[in-house]
Amino acid sequence: MTAWKLLFGLTLAALLTGCSAGQTALSEAVNLLRLPDGGRLPHAVIDGAGTVHVIYFEGEPRSGDLRYVTRPVGATAWSEPIYVNSQPGTVVGIGPIDGGHLALGKNNRVHVVWFKLNRTEFLYTRTTDDGTAFEPQFSLAAGEGVEAGPSVAADDVGNVYVFWHTGEPPESERSVFMTMSNDDGERFTPALPINRASEGACDCCALHARTDDAGAVYVSYRGAGNNIRRGQRLLASHDRGASFSDDLIDLWEINACPISTTGLTNSPTGMTVAWETEGQVYFTTTDSLDQSVSPSGTAEARRRNPRIAVNHLGESLLVWGDAISWQAGGLFHWQQFDRSGQPTGGTGTGSEIPDGSLPAVVAEPDGTFLVIY
């Protein structure tokens, strides 16, 4: 038996033990389902049938692996984990800006991206035609000065978009790049810069991409214009990636990288974006960037790593961690908002998010929310 097969058996046994744990109710509308043992850095989406799809990181921070699990509607535990990366130890999971991203495309095919160190590369895989495994991973591009992982978005007609930012210092000269596939991830175009050159890209801040029901593509990223203008920005394409607008979401002038993350979700009220500015977390729809909403109360530390979900009624759940260091997951917090962005009174805290991780959240078909970390 090879060392890798032995490791696979031991790891799988541990994961299956973790999968047996059920979800916990935080309120009538909010449930928590922890990742299998040792899992962190979850990224979650939900399909039209109500099945939750999650990838998460496990292993050594600089050379770990990705696992994939699902939870069908009505179930309270995860499926058996599936290995995502075909080459062991090729995933970075040092902190919240790392790990993998997934998107559901045509026929609910799962597309996953991440990056590796040493010879830095942005990597991609997708599920096989029958959805029972992942195809061999392959490199989309190499990068310079890479500190944060890529993101992927897909639509239901076979378009797949992958984004990352790269470039040597100064950060004001970095760019956000895109490669895309029109055949469901079979082949990808050469990568090209898509953001406004004067805005740069903050090297240790994550970006996040999503498509909406009409096929528009959105990317939330943090700029670095003049190495000081580090506000959150929104790239948007309404012509399937042929061109992008580049608009400011929120201003933040700071002569240092804040090491932050961001989240996007599609909803009945439109594409919704969540981000951090100066230790506070916010969200708003992409068609009303000047009308941001933030949680009430006094933060115990820096509010960071926000994620947002919106249910079919237009009600929102914002989740985040209160933490001081960039790598700490922090104390978990959540707050509910109504369709107009007003707090509903639903708010709470939970256990510490594991170090080097962050929460994920999805809206269920019945209007409740599922938090994952």
For residue 4, pLDDT beyond 70: no
Asked if residues 359 and 351 have their Cβ atoms less than 8 Å apart, the reply is no
pLDDT computed for residue 356 by the predictor: 96
Asked if residues 39 and 66 have their Cβ atoms less than 8 Å apart, the reply is no
CATH of segment(s) 3-372: 2.120.10.10
Question: From CA 320, how far away is CA 281, in angstroms rounded?
Answer: 8
pLDDT computed for residue 2 by the predictor: 37
Q: Which of 121-125, 223-227, 243-247, 299-303 has the lowest mean pLDDT?
A: 299-303
Tell which wins on pLDDT, 18 or 23: 23
For residue 6, pLDDT beyond 50: no
Of the candidates 313, 314, 317, 294, the one whose C-alpha atom is nearest the C-alpha of residue 369 is 317
Q: Cα dist. 286→114, 238, 248, 270 in Å?
A: 26, 13, 11, 7
pLDDT computed for residue 22 by the predictor: 82
Band (pLDDT 50/70/90 cuts) for residue 21 is low
pLDDT computed for residue 184 by the predictor: 98
Asked if residues 286 and 218 have their Cβ atoms less than 8 Å apart, the reply is yes
**Residue range 212-235: average pLDDT?**
98
pLDDT computed for residue 298 by the predictor: 85
**Residue range 362-369: average pLDDT?**
98
Question: From CA 86, how far away is CA 138, in angstroms rounded?
Answer: 9
**Residue range 103-130: average pLDDT?**
97
Grouping H, G, I as helix, E, B as strand and the rest as coil, residue 24 is: strand
For residue 7, pLDDT beyond 60: no
Token couple for 192: 């090209």
**Residue range 209-217: average pLDDT?**
98
For residue 143, pLDDT beyond 80: yes
**Residue range 303-326: average pLDDT?**
97
Reported as a single tens digit per residue, the pLDDT across 155-180 is 999 999 999 999 989 999 999 999 99
**Residue range 138-143: average pLDDT?**
94
Question: From CA 165, how far away is CA 181, in angstroms rounded?
Answer: 18
Q: Where are the domains of the chain?
A: 3-372
Tell which wins on pLDDT, 12 or 32: 32
Q: Which of 10-24, 41-55, 289-303, 356-370 has the lowest mean pLDDT?
A: 10-24
Of the candidates 266, 295, 263, 265, the one whose C-alpha atom is nearest the C-alpha of residue 279 is 295
**Residue range 295-313: average pLDDT?**
94
Mean pLDDT of the chain: 93
Band (pLDDT 50/70/90 cuts) for residue 212 is very high
Band (pLDDT 50/70/90 cuts) for residue 17 is very low
